[in-house]
């Protein structure tokens, strides 16, 4: 039996319904729009949170952390010059011509050994004349003495007056004084004549000779040159200027190592015998004298040397806040309260630590008042305060 025909009302209802495919499209579009809206909102929130985090991070300064170093043995190398224990330039004390020299440079000589002879004809003539004058004065003195004795006997017999006797006694006294004067002149010229023999003042070696046979010798002038130089090299002096930063560590009887270019790779030992105990205001250093026993005669006076002072230190790992440690000079902060450094605690907050400088080594400082396990901030900002939060760099290094 055929279906009944739809009524008018049913026909209108079916005409109002949208097609099934169009509804699904609208639903998908709405879902996509909602998804885009949610994603955009989440991205904006994430970007805002990230910007806030970066802004907060920018306010926290990034710092470089260094750890104090221990007072390891300090080694100070300074230049110096070796000098002979004694060194005497030998001059002539009389005029003349060099007759002969007996020693040359490098030769060993003994005290009093003859070095050279000088021909002194002028002094020889003067000495001969002085001896003749002394003989004359001696004869006159003897005659005056005999005359005085005769007048004394005559005066005892009242044969002559007392006045005449006193005059004879006066003549004798004057003759005696004149004779003493002539004898003194002879002794002077004999001493001057002895200077024609140049001798070594002490045992040593001849380090220079500045004359030759026939050379004119003029003594007692500013232009006079030493004929020889004799040096005692059994021991050598070593003078060193120690900077003021190390002056307090210099102690008597210190054993110091030094090297010379003559013997590369070889180290010599010298003993500190004394220091000036004063700092030169011009150089800011203290003069120190060392002595080296040159019994093997290896080293030469006047040679250049490099002296290495070694000062013992302490171990920072076993130290306390009162133990000296080393920090970079760039870590200092100068505040009204004094010299300080900025340290970082375990929670990455700043703590200002007052210190006392013991020794200034230039790029490093030896200080007290700082525990050796401290995390010191290098090149700190001037506006750092206690409690400020900081961020350490990944790379750290110790001093």
Q: What is the CATH number of the domain that holds 297?
A: 2.40.30.170
Q: Are residues 267 and 321 in the same domain?
A: no
225 or 187: which leads in pLDDT: 187
Q: Which percentage of the chain shows pLDDT scores above 90? A: 37
In a domain, 22, yes or no: no
Do strands 255-259 and 204-209 pair parallel, antiparallel, or not at all (unpaired)?
Answer: unpaired
User: Per-residue pLDDT for 54 more than 70?
Assistant: no
Measured distance CA(293)–CA(268) in Å, rounded: 10
Q: Are residues 185 and 244 in the same domain?
A: no
In a domain, 292, yes or no: yes
Q: Are residues 283 and 245 in the same domain?
A: yes
In a domain, 367, yes or no: yes
Report the CATH number at residue 388: 2.40.420
In a domain, 183, yes or no: yes
DSSP state of 383: T
User: Per-residue pLDDT for 179 more than 90?
Assistant: yes
Look at residue 382 in the predicted model and tell me its pLDDT: 82
User: Among residues 310, 340, 370, which one ends one of the domains?
Assistant: 310
Q: Are residues 236 and 297 in the same domain?
A: yes
Look at residue 90 in the predicted model and tell me its pLDDT: 93
Q: Which two tokens stand for residue 150?
A: 């005769």
How does residue 365 score in pLDDT terms, banded at 50, 70 and 90? confident
How does residue 99 score in pLDDT terms, banded at 50, 70 and 90? very high
Measured distance CA(376)–CA(344) in Å, rounded: 7
User: Among residues 164, 193, 222, which one ends one of the domains?
Assistant: 193
How does residue 136 score in pLDDT terms, banded at 50, 70 and 90? very high
Do strands 216-217 and 204-209 pair parallel, antiparallel, or not at all (unpaired)?
Answer: unpaired
Question: What is the separation of C-alpha 91 from the centre of its chain, rounded to a whole number of angstroms?
Answer: 35
In a domain, 104, yes or no: no
Q: Which of 111, 114, 88, 89 is nearest to 99 (CA)?
A: 114
In a domain, 288, yes or no: yes
Range of the domain at 294: 231-310
Q: Are residues 286 and 347 in the same domain?
A: no
How does residue 318 score in pLDDT terms, banded at 50, 70 and 90? very low
In a domain, 363, yes or no: yes
Which stretch of 65-74, 104-113, 258-267, 357-366 has the lowest confidence by average pLDDT? 65-74
Q: Are residues 306 and 240 in the same domain?
A: yes
How does residue 393 score in pLDDT terms, banded at 50, 70 and 90? confident
Report the CATH number at residue 171: 1.10.287
**Mean pLDDT to the nearest integer, 141-167:** 88
Q: Are residues 237 and 300 in the same domain?
A: yes
Look at residue 8 in the predicted model and tell me its pLDDT: 52
User: Among residues 146, 172, 193, which one ends one of the domains?
Assistant: 193
**Mean pLDDT to the nearest integer, 253-269:** 91
Distances (CA, A) of 328 to 248, 307, 351: 22, 26, 17
34 or 349: which leads in pLDDT: 349
Measured distance CA(352)–CA(369) in Å, rounded: 12
Which stretch of 1-5, 36-40, 86-90, 375-379 has the lowest confidence by average pLDDT? 1-5
Question: Which sign does the torsion angle of CA 246, 252, 253, 258 carry?
Answer: positive
In total, how many domains does the chain have?
3
Look at residue 259 in the predicted model and tell me its pLDDT: 93
Q: Are residues 155 and 181 in the same domain?
A: yes
Residue 306 burial by CB count (10 A; 0-12/13-18/19+): exposed, middle or buried?
middle
Do strands 304-311 and 255-259 pair parallel, antiparallel, or not at all (unpaired)?
Answer: antiparallel
Of the ranges 22-36, 195-209, 311-325, the best mean pLDDT one: 195-209
Q: pTM for the complete prediction?
A: 0.56
Q: Which percentage of the chain shows pLDDT scores above 70? A: 86
């Amino acid at each position: 039996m055929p279906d009944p025909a739809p009524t008018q009302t049913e026909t209108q209802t079916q005409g109002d319904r949208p097609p099934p495919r169009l509804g699904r499209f609208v639903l998908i579009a709405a879902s996509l729009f909602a998804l885009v809206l949610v994603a955009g909102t989440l991205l904006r929130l994430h970007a805002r949170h990230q910007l806030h985090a970066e802004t907060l991070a920018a306010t926290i300064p990034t710092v470089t952390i260094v750890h104090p170093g221990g007072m390891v043995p300090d080694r100070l190398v300074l230049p110096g010059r070796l000098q002979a224990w004694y060194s005497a330039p030998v001059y002539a004390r009389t005029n003349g011509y060099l007759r002969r020299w007996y020693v040359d440079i490098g030769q060993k000589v003994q005290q009093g050994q003859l070095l050279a002879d000088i021909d002194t004809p002028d002094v020889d003539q003067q000495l001969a004349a002085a001896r003749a004058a002394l003989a004359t004065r001696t004869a006159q003195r003897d005659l005056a003495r005999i005359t005085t004795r005769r007048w004394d006997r005559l005066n005892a017999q009242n044969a002559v007056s007392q006045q005449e006797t006193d005059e004879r006694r006066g003549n004798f006294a004057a003759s005696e004084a004149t004779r003493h004067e002539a004898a003194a002149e002879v002794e002077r010229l004999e001493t001057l004549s002895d200077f024609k023999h140049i001798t070594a003042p002490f045992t040593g070696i001849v380090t220079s000779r500045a004359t030759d046979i026939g050379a004119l010798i003029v003594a007692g002038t500013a232009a006079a040159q030493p004929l020889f130089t004799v040096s005692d090299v059994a021991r050598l002096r070593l003078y060193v200027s120690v900077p003021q930063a190390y002056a307090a560590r210099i102690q008597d009887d210190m054993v110091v190592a030094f090297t010379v270019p003559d013997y590369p790779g070889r180290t010599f030992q010298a003993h500190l015998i004394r220091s000036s105990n004063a700092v030169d205001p011009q150089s800011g250093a203290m003069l120190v004298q060392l002595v080296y026993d040159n019994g093997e005669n290896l080293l030469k006076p006047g040679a250049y040397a490099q002296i290495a002072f070694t000062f013992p230190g302490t171990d920072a790992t076993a130290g306390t806040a009162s133990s000296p440690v080393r920090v970079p000079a760039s870590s200092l902060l100068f505040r009204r309260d004094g010299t300080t450094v900025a340290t970082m605690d375990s929670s990455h907050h700043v703590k200002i630590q007052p210190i006392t400088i013991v020794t200034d080594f230039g790029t490093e400082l030896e200080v007290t008042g700082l525990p050796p396990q401290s995390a010191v901030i290098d090149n700190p900002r001037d506006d750092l305060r206690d409690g400020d939060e900081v961020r350490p760099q990944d790379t750290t290094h110790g001093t």
